[in-house]
Structure 1
Amino acid sequence: MPHCPNCNQKWNLKKTLKAHGDHNLGTACPNCKEVQYVSRKTKQLQGFITMGYMIITFLAWREFELGAVPFFTVAILTIVLGIFILISATELSEELESGWRLIEDRKILEDINEGGAADISCPSFKHKDYPN
């Protein structure tokens, strides 16, 4: 289970699951009430677990030609194992971090963390609120 980087309070299972559900919105620490975010390392781990799940279930279906019951057993056990690993390895951060280190994402997140408006100047990005 993760610990709050601000007050070092250990989070319970319910708060940890809520933090994963709201990983870009942040979750308030139950002790110090400071907003904490899921760390970049944890977001990357979540991506690798999802890819691993897809590979394992594909192999179970395609290569091992398992029947319906063994296939769904492998799929459910893989999901449970992935959730257990993710919850036990969750780390928190005091700042919103993107899942991958992209220069544009980093600049946008810095602007958001400083309270300013994000400067989105990507030519392929068209939005009525962000003129190019």
Structure 2
Amino acid sequence: MAQYESQLPETSTKETVLSFIEALNKEDFAQARRLVHDDLTFIGALGTRNGADAYFADMERMKMKYVIQRAFVEGNDVCLLYDFTIDGITIFGCGWYQLIDNRIRSFKVIFDPRPLLEGANKK
């Protein structure tokens, strides 16, 4: 673990990430934005976003909905297994969220993008 990271209670990190997902589900992007750092880094199967503004510009357009299946916590790391729906297509994925000072600094999402790509080709 990097020296600059502070250790937080596991319930605190988990609650932050769950609150982030809940805010996204409610399309309360202002609340979700308060739970991340300005220099947020997002890495996903279809691209990378550097900075919270770039990430939320996409989220406001896509309006994804999440159903969390499991949550795992270790120190400042939270891993979620979830189904997410975008454009009527539901996909299983995994998100690894890393927090600093009880706010999300970065996260990576892994999923099979083929259903989304196939759906885009049919339009």
Give your verdict on TM over 0.5.
no
Q: What range describes the TM-score normalised by the shorter chain of this pair?
A: under 0.3
Q: Which structure features the higher share of strand residues? A: 2
Q: Which structure features the higher share of helix residues? A: 1
TM-score (norm 1): 0.22
